[in-house]
Amino acid sequence: MPLENLGKDFVNSHWKNIIINSEYMNSYQQPLQSYYSGFTANLLRDTGFYEQIKESMGEEILYAKGVGCQHFTDNYCNSYKDEFCLPKTEQGQCDFHHIGSSNCIIGQFNESRCHTYYVQLQKECWNIKNMQQSNNQQK
């Protein structure tokens, strides 16, 4: 698993955000939803302090699922992939996990060509109050 190489306080101590997003071992967590992957479960177990942890305790990660090795090569930030976005045309759209309305930005820990979705607080699509507020603001 590639480790983060951006941000002096995070180099080689977190999973790379653009490889596996919304994971608790990332240098940045989405404010509304994060996951424990099998990678993190295995890391914790392999330290010897958490021997009771099994790989099956990791949650299913859908980010980059089934995309193959090309997701991790030179052109892995292509905007045609669901994991990435175009900042000029995809602002306010649902994030990859369909949690809420998002900004399409270059994150603090992303390579300069990698635009990803960051969920806006108070914009969860499953929260009825947020939907009512949005409708009232549009009137």
Give 138's pLDDT tier (boundaries 50, 70, 90).
very low
13 within a domain of the structure (yes/no) = no
**More reliable by pLDDT, 35 or 128:** 35
Give 46's pLDDT tier (boundaries 50, 70, 90).
very high
User: How far is C-alpha 53 from the geometric centre of its chain's CA atoms?
Assistant: 23
74 within a domain of the structure (yes/no) = yes
**More reliable by pLDDT, 109 or 116:** 116
133 within a domain of the structure (yes/no) = yes
Q: Does the pLDDT of residue 131 top 60, yes or no?
A: no
CB contact at 8 A, 107 and 113: no
What is the domain count for the chain?
A: 1
Average pLDDT of the chain is 74
Would you state the pLDDT for residue 136? 52
20 within a domain of the structure (yes/no) = no
pLDDT in tens, 5-37: 777 777 888 887 777 777 888 777 666 677 788
Supply φ then ψ for residue 135, to 5 degrees.
-65, -40
117 within a domain of the structure (yes/no) = yes
23 within a domain of the structure (yes/no) = no
Rounded Cα gap, residues 118 and 130, in angstroms? 17
Is 14 annotated to bind a ligand? Reply is yes
Give the pTM.
Answer: 0.62
Give 134's pLDDT tier (boundaries 50, 70, 90).
low
7 within a domain of the structure (yes/no) = no
* Helical H segments across the chain, by residue range: 38-46, 128-138
Per the structure, the complete domain to which residue 93 belongs is given by 38-138
115 within a domain of the structure (yes/no) = yes
